[in-house]
Structure 1
Amino acid sequence: MHALIVVAHPDPKSLTHSVVAHVAEGLSLSGPGNSFEIADLSAEAFDPRFSATDIAVHLRQTPISADIAAEQARIDRADALVLVYPVYWWSMPGLLKGWIDRVFTNGWAYDEGPDTKPAKKLRHLKVHLVAIGGANLRTYARHGYFGAMKTQIDHGIFDYCGARVVTSELLLPSETQDMSSHLDTARAIGRNLFDASGQRLMANVA
């Protein structure tokens, strides 16, 4: 089994990158036949700008560009997609959102036309979301932020394409919790990624 881990953070020394490393460590311990690839969008200088060409792709007026075809091929090779990102303004960073905007194209992630109902094309893909927030759990719960994020990301993006969100993890600071527990959680996500009994939601729900 193969996983694609996508990370969107410009600082390789950040907690986000540490979480990625521990997810990868868990994956390396999960079984001899399992493998992974890390897509560091910042280091790879992925262009998140949704251009006129991307609009033409959406309208089926032009074929996708080589860079987007390469990203889609990465996902096609994967049995699981893992997104690790910091929470910016109660959502994912613009770099990661732009990656989704440009890569999850009409005709590949879903089929949609003026006279047809949308068809989900990523039903085979299992998705694991690991968000790292700066506010505490009380703040997220009081304002309903976690529920809003699940609605816009888990449902609004991945359910629309048919992909199943297996893990939706929100790692937050706590007065009684140091960051090592978050790294342990990340390692457990990687270790259980392809476990038949681990195809379950491991979310910390507010």
Structure 2
Amino acid sequence: MHALIVVAHHQPRSLTHSVATQIAEGLTQAEPANTCEIADLYAQGFQPVFGAADFAVHHREALPPADVQAEHARIDRADALVLVFPVYWWSMPALLKGWIDRVFSNGWAFDYGSDQKHIKKLQRLRVHLVGLGGADAGAFQRHGYAAAMKAQIEHGIFDYSGATVQSSTLLLESESSDPQGHLQTAYKIGVRIFPVPGGSEPAREGTRAVELIAS
């Protein structure tokens, strides 16, 4: 099984990158046959701005640009997509949102045309979300931020394209707590991404885990 781990953080030595590395470690340690690719959007210089060429793709007037087609191929090779990102203003960073804006395009992630029919095209894809937030669990729950992120990201993006969000984890107090707890959690996330032969059964389709973790 193969996973694509997408990271959106400018600092390679950040906790965000370390969490992604631990997820990859857990995934490959759980089953040596498992493989993964870490896509560092900052390092690769991905252009996140949805421009005229992307607008033409949305209206089915042109093929996706080469950089978008390359991301399509990455996801098409993957059995699971893992997004690892810092929480900025109760959502994902602009770079990651722009990656989704451009990559989850009409004709590839979904079909929507003049006949008003909406077809979800990513129903095979399993998604895991890992956000790192500076606030504590109480703030996320008290102000409804966790629910807002679920509606925006899980329903608004992935359900619209048919992908199943199998786990969604918020690693909180990321700027003030001991990072080792979050790194251990990240490793466990990696272990659980794919079923281990002879181990526990994988999550049933349509089920998901929601965790608010504060060290």
Normalised to the residue count of structure 2, the TM-score between the two structures is 0.92
Structure 2 counterpart of 1:153? 153
SS at match of 1:128: strand
Aligned ranges 1:1-206 → 2 under 5 Å: 1-173=1-173, 178-195=178-195, 197-199=201-203, 201-205=208-212
SS at match of 2:30: coil
* 8 Å contact kept, 2:167–2:209: yes
Please list the CA deviations of residues 36-84 of structure 1 after superposition, one character each: whole Å capped at 9, or x if unmatched: 0010000000000100110000001111111100000000000000000
Q: Give 1:142 deviation, angstroms.
A: 1.0
Q: Give 1:109 deviation, angstroms.
A: 0.2
* 8 Å contact kept, 1:6–1:81: yes
**Quick one: which amino acid aligns to residue 28 of structure 2?**
S
* 8 Å contact kept, 2:166–2:209: yes
**Quick one: which amino acid aligns to residue 201 of structure 2?**
S
SS at match of 1:90: coil
**Quick one: which amino acid aligns to residue 155 of structure 1?**
H
Mapped partners of 1:183, 1:197: distance in 2: 24
Q: Give 1:205 deviation, angstroms.
A: 4.8
Mapped partners of 2:177, 2:94: distance in 1: 29
Mapped partners of 1:201, 1:182: distance in 2: 20
**Quick one: which amino acid aligns to residue 139 of structure 1?**
A
Q: Give 1:179 deviation, angstroms.
A: 2.0
Q: Give 1:114 deviation, angstroms.
A: 2.1
Please list the CA deviations of residues 105-127 of structure 1 after superposition, one character each: whole Å capped at 9, or x if unmatched: 00000000121321100000000
Q: Give 1:177 deviation, angstroms.
A: 5.7
Mapped partners of 1:170, 1:197: distance in 2: 24
* 8 Å contact kept, 2:171–2:212: no
SS at match of 1:106: coil
Q: Give 1:32 deviation, angstroms.
A: 2.0
Please list the CA deviations of residues 115-168 of structure 1 after superposition, one character each: whole Å capped at 9, or x if unmatched: 132110000000000000011111111100000001000110000000000010
Runs of 4+ aligned residues of structure 1 deviating over 4 Å after TM superposition are none
**Quick one: which amino acid aligns to residue 19 of structure 1?**
V
SS at match of 1:124: coil
Mapped partners of 1:203, 1:182: distance in 2: 15
Q: Which residues of structure 2 form unaligned runs of 5+?
A: none
Q: How many pairs are equivalent?
A: 205
**Quick one: which amino acid aligns to residue 100 of structure 1?**
I
* 8 Å contact kept, 1:173–1:179: no
Q: Give 1:20 deviation, angstroms.
A: 0.5
**Quick one: which amino acid aligns to residue 106 of structure 1?**
N
SS at match of 1:85: strand
Name the stretch that deviates more: 157-166 or 110-119. Answer: 110-119
* 8 Å contact kept, 1:166–1:202: yes
